Amino acid sequence: MTSTDAAPAAPAAQTFTSLDPATGAVVGTHPIHDATAVQAAVDRARAEAPHWQALGYDGRKRALVRWRKLIARRMDELAALMARETGKPTGDALLETALAVDHLSWAAGHAEKVLKRRSVAPGLLMVNQAASVEYRPLGVVGVIGPWNYPVFTPMGSIAYALAAGNTVVFKPSEYTPGVGEWLARTFQEAVGRPVFQVVTGYGETGAALTAAGVDKVAFTGSTATGKRVMAACAETLTPVVIEAGGKDALIVADDADVAEAAEAALWGAAANAGQTCAGVERVYVHERVYDEFLDHLVRQAKDLEAKPGGQVGPITMPSQVDIIRRHVDDALARGGRALVGGPVPEGARFVQPTVLVDVPEDSSAVQEETFGPTVTVTRVKDMDEAVERANGTRYALGSTVFSQEHGMEIADRLRAGMTAINGVISFAGIPTLPFGGVGDSGFGRIHGPDGLREFTYPHAIARQRFKPAIALTTFRRTAKEEKQLTKVVRGLYARGKK
């Protein structure tokens, strides 16, 4: 596949290929868009922005619904392409597409309600004013996406930015350019204008997008690249959303449904071959149920095999295998034990599900993002210790709690952008919930009303309804009026319990 039939982008001199990570076969050939081509796409998006904005909420909703229908009708095709470019099982790719379509639908359907001008209380001192606020589109949003969820993740920015009235230029990961082009091509089919375009290439293409004068950059990827993106954006005071990595913990309380907790831990750790930003990488289990939990987890993990056509696919990015190997080796060298899996063989593209115990808390397997189907399981004496350890990394993206009675209590104490109770990663599929992290996991939010507002700026209006009883904002203000003001403020604020 080439981008020649995709949404318009300037001709590119060079090309690159995306490969099937399971077989090494070429999936598609794509242009490497240089800075000139990226600038041309951003200029087109800028020229298109007034038209897109003039459509209003209804017009944009109709356009996005046409796109939604097209994606939903052809989701098999998208899932198959995604499966080839990432190596993930087609069923997982279908699930990812379904969730992305749901978010697109929600963003298109709720933009008006969340963003349109609404009245707010003017306050007692400004009671003569009618106050209102509206959230306006920023203009052109540059979206830079990762490869691990190449539809669901960028759609969290693309759909919400478009619904909020922005035009979008999207740079997919070099590992999933075909998926990015598919999205832009279907948008073009549904809408027929360059409201949403794709540019492909390596990191330089992403860097060019950050320097092309966009009004916001929505970046999803590693913390290290996120810092580079932010530094580049600082040059032009371009605002950024950074959705970066995670080291999510799952906590199992002594009143948990232990079998369910183990199943959730395994799926959270090994689904998508562990290449999930909000995947489970650490488990802290109350000592009273530790052995029982491990029995369940080990039994289930032994039944799971990473293999071609299996439920656990290959590691998409070859260099990630070295990081996984380093973390496992370090854990084992420092006294840890692998109850399932073990050292990752050189040259492997499939990493077997791995359960590590007795791993020191300061080891890389506990502190750094592994991004493989591995999980550490640690015994804790109580939930205080579980919470302290769960909160003990630089990352703070998602988290999970299993407890029949105390889920909310424990969740309230976790430093994380999201928490699932008695389920895993469930927050990501709920369009009304904001998604994002703190600390090294980034900042800003996609999804939900916060995700729509992320791609806007508030415009506040104060309209005088009648002349004020005490004229404050004039050089004609008198000493008498100042005294009246003092009296009013003391009357309002100097006494009382509230």
Question: Per CB under 6 A, which region of 6-14, 69-77, 220-228, 322-330 contacts ligand NDP?
Answer: 220-228
Binding mask 176-215 for ligand NDP (x = CB under 6 A): --------------------------xx--xx--x-----
Of residues 301 through 330, those in contact with ligand NDP by CB under 6 A are 317
Question: Per CB under 6 A, which region of 24-32, 121-129, 168-176, 383-391 contacts ligand NDP?
Answer: 168-176
**Token code pair at residue 214:** 């966009």
Q: How far is the CB of 188 from ligand NDP (least distance, A)?
A: 21
148 part of the interface to ligand NDP, by CB under 6 A: yes
Q: How far is the CB of 225 from ligand NDP (least distance, A)?
A: 3
Of residues 243 through 282, those in contact with ligand NDP by CB under 6 A are 243-246, 277
- Coil, strand or helix at 202: coil
CB burial string 135-169: b at 16+ within 10 A, e below: bebbbbbbbbbbbbbbbbbbbbbbbbbbbbbbbbb
Task: Give all strands of the β-sheet with 129-137 in edge-to-edge order.
Answer: 118-120, 129-137, 456-464
Residue with tokens 């939930």: 383
Which of residues 229, 301, 380, 396 is near ligand NDP by CB under 6 A? 229
Question: Per CB under 6 A, which region of 24-32, 40-48, 95-103, 147-155 contacts ligand NDP?
Answer: 147-155
Residue with tokens 């990432």: 86
Of residues 442 through 471, those in contact with ligand NDP by CB under 6 A are 442
Indicate which residue of 85, 174, 233, 277 is catalytic.
Answer: 277
Please report the DSSP string for 132-170 in residue order. Answer: EEEEEE-SEEEEE--SSSTTHHHHHHHHHHHHTT-EEEE
Which of residues 174, 181, 248, 454 is near ligand NDP by CB under 6 A? 174
The yes-or-no answer on residue 233 being catalytic is no
Q: Which is nearer to ligand NDP, 145 or 407 (CB)?
A: 145
**Token code pair at residue 188:** 């073009």
Binding mask 125-144 for ligand NDP (x = CB under 6 A): -------------------x
Residues 292 and 262: beta-carbon distance below 8 Å: no
Q: Please state the length of the chain.
A: 498
Q: How far is the CB of 146 from ligand NDP (least distance, A)?
A: 3
Distance CA 34, CA 46 (A): 18
Question: Per CB under 6 A, which region of 240-248, 324-332, 384-392, 484-492 contacts ligand NDP?
Answer: 240-248
The yes-or-no answer on residue 243 being catalytic is yes
Closest alpha carbon to 5 in 145, 205, 195, 186: 186
Question: Per CB under 6 A, which region of 283-291, 374-382, 437-445, 449-457 contacts ligand NDP?
Answer: 437-445
Which of residues 67, 147, 160, 290 is near ligand NDP by CB under 6 A? 147
Q: Which is nearer to ligand NDP, 200 or 403 (CB)?
A: 200
**Token code pair at residue 80:** 């198959």
Q: Which is nearer to ligand NDP, 139 or 442 (CB)?
A: 442
Distance CA 423, CA 53 (A): 39
**Token code pair at residue 356:** 């590590």
Of residues 53 through 92, those in contact with ligand NDP by CB under 6 A are none
Which of residues 220, 363, 393, 400 is near ligand NDP by CB under 6 A? 220
Q: How far apart are the first and last CA of the chain?
A: 66
- Coil, strand or helix at 18: strand
Residues 357 and 294: beta-carbon distance below 8 Å: yes
Q: How far is CA 431 from CA 57, 100, 160, 279, 450, in A?
A: 18, 9, 11, 19, 11
Residue with tokens 């008695």: 422
Site of interaction with ligand NDP (CB under 6 A) = 144-149, 153, 171, 173-174, 202-203, 206-207, 210, 220-222, 225, 228-229, 243-246, 277, 317, 369, 371, 397, 437, 441-442
Give catalytic residues, as residue numbers: 243, 277
